[in-house]
Structure 1
Amino acid sequence: MVRVLEPAGADERSASTAAVPDWAVVDLFCGIGGLSHGLRHAGFNVVAGVDADETCRYAFETNNNATFVGRPLEDVSGDEIAAMFPEGTRRIVVGCAPCTPFSAYSAGPGEARDKWSLVDLFMDRIAAVEPEVISMENVPRLKSFKQRRVFNRFLERLDGVGYEVSAKVVNAADYGVPQDRSRLVVLASKLGPIDVPAATVNTRPTVREAIAHLPALDAGAVDAEDRIHRAPRLSSLNLRRIRAAKPGRPWSEWADQGLLSPCHRRSTGASYKNVYGRMEWDKPSPTLTTGCFSFGRGRFGHPKQDRAISLREAALLQSFPARYEFIAADDPVWFARVGRHIGNAVPVALAAAIGDTIRTHIREHAA
């Protein structure tokens, strides 16, 4: 079952925040606020988010009623972050350090980009601010053999300043997100032992449950009632390709008929089986990326309609509320920008599960 989270208005926020009084949250690398929004639904007062991408400001502030600081974290000191917390509140710092240095899509020879690890920077700010509770979400590859030194250093530094730590790779689909998305979740607390949340659903939600109710679209069309529910145009060749594609099946099964890309005819491209594919109605979607609106960049074809999924469908598959606002009313809808915002976000339902766990932990351990 899909966990439906609607945007929290002012009255709802006042009521929900009362569940954990005297605690406040600052979200580092906040993006458009997926993690913050889930924490708000768990009853937390998110007061600020920090992110270098200024284009995230509108969505973060509009949906979370919190201050957006549009600067790289390198330029935001620990003292500045500490000052964001209202006087007298206890501190929670959360964040999703951008995973680009650890992504399989960007790793270069020798993994040289590890040298400027944003995970280390995140830890530097934790050490300076000394929050009672922290949460970090990242790609599972951070825990892999090649990246283990970065991850172990992070855990050792947490232990060195008095945190109890729990870390686990989870699948967002087990928390009500209609998407097969593995993530590394870290929780740490100075109050006492804390565990990464257990699954919150017995049956993983499906693409059908998330998006089947939306109006049908042609490729290149936009819904008259929701301009985020729009699908990109497809070339005549890609229209032929998507008509040949079967849900959940790779392009390698096509009867060729001139449909195969030249790169896929070569041995170097043959392993990329999850592009030019359709989603399946009755399973979670594949992992959404920043190119989730593009038929040629993943299995992002609609299960039934001859088009890629729309931006709104991508947002619902990330468990964003149906009324989440991504851009101002007078701004154009740029697929690349909004797709990047959605694909990079922490799924809201996973964030809400993390928030529920932190709330329970505080009630059990805080004086």
Structure 2
Amino acid sequence: GKQVELVQPEIVSMENVPQLRKDPVFEKFISLLKCNNYFVDWKIVYAPEYGVPQKRKRLLLLASKLGEIRLLEPTRTRENYPTVREAISELRPLKAGETDKEDFLHRARKLSALNIKRIKSSFPGGTWKDWDEKLLPDCYKRKSGESYKSVYGRLEWDEPSSTITTQFVGYGNGRFGHPEQNRALSLREGAILQTFPKDYRFVEKLEETSFVKLAVQIGNAVPVKLGEAIGESIKTHLENNKFLS
């Protein structure tokens, strides 16, 4: 807010978690924008409506000094949401701990012998409740485990994926199991589900960073197609207000 007051840019954009809308700081920020003569528009968007194959909801805000500004209308409906199958089914099969010889980012984390047994007992869209009792972590044997139904899950081929977080390379961290192969998502698969180009190189060699740091970078990113929708919305707004010719 202070930076907006100081710089007074023509356009302001913000992307955040949906829960922010319930925080008093969000109301304060909107009031600050309006007091500084900005037209403000914000909404909770569902990423598949903008071509992102994951069930990600985000709060997007656009503000402008030039006039009313709006996020472009969604490009997809429930009938044609992008799916995990469309995104990653053509990638070369991997085993847990393996790296594709032709793409060092198509690399999956190793799994313990116990987690190999668990993922073999899992099916797309299922939960750990499908497992034999002896495979369950102790905390899931109690009622307190009820709220963790999506962890240790497999993705479904013909649905968008679950939200890609910084933890997507870990099978036990969410519904990040591959639909068929006995492993968690690879770095490349997570990046593709974030709609980075399929050949995008974050680094020249994996040795320049670490597996975990790359997963954090990918998981923290605004999905590329969502960023594109924000950029196109701003560009259209500027053209409509004769700011761009």
Shorter-chain-normalised TM-score: which range?
A: over 0.9
What's the CA shift string for 1:231-282, capped at 9, x where partnerless? 00000000000000010111112232x1101111122223111100000000
8 Å contact kept, 2:121–2:130: no
Distance 1:250 1:332 in 2: 36
1:187 aligns with 2:68: no
Q: Is the 8 A contact 1:293 1:335 kept in 2?
A: no
| SS of alignment partner, residue 183 of structure 1 | strand
Q: Measure how far apart 1:345 and its partner are.
A: 0.6
Q: Name the counterpart of 1:355.
A: 231
- The alignment's TM-score, normalised by the length of structure 2, stands at 0.95
> Is the 2:123–2:153 Cα contact (8 Å) retained in structure 1?
yes
CA RMSD of aligned residues (A): 1.2
TM-score for both structures, normalised by structure 1: 0.64
Match of 1:206 in 2: 83
230 and 330 in structure 1: CA distance in 2 versus 1, 3 angstrom threshold: closer
Q: Is 2:121 the partner of 1:244?
A: yes
CA drift of 1:330 comes to 6.3
Map of 1:163 onto structure 2? 38
* Residues 298-341 of structure 1: CA deviation (Å, up to 9, x unaligned): 00000010110100000000001112222232625523211111
CA distance in 1, matches of 2:61, 2:177: 33
Are 2:39 and 1:154 aligned? no
Inter-partner Cα distance in structure 1 for 2:200 and 2:35: 40
- Specify whether residues 300 and 363 from structure 1 end up closer, same or farther in structure 2 by C-alpha distance, changes over 3 A only: same
CA contact (8 A) 2:104 2:206 kept: no
Q: Which 4+ stretches in 1 moved above 3 angstroms?
A: none
Equivalences for 1:75-114 in 2 at 5 Å? none
Q: In structure 2, what is the equivalent of residue 143 of structure 1? A: 21
- Offset, 1:129: 1.2
Matched residue of 1:168: which SS? Answer: strand
Q: 1:289 to 1:330 in 2, by over 3 A?
A: closer
1:340 to 208, 216, 227: 216
Q: 1:316 aligns with which of 176, 192, 205?
A: 192
Per the alignment, residue 128 of structure 1 pairs with 6
- How many residue pairs match? The answer is 241
Q: 1:224 aligns with which of 92, 95, 101?
A: 101
Q: Which secondary structure does the structure 2 equivalent of 1:269 belong to?
A: helix
Shift of 1:221: 0.1
Percentage identity across aligned positions? 49
Corresponding position of 1:300 = 176
User: Which residue identity lines up with residue 208 of structure 1 in the other structure?
Assistant: R
The one-character-per-residue Cα deviations of 1:69-119 (angstroms, maximum 9, x if unpaired) are xxxxxxxxxxxxxxxxxxxxxxxxxxxxxxxxxxxxxxxxxxxxxxxxxxx
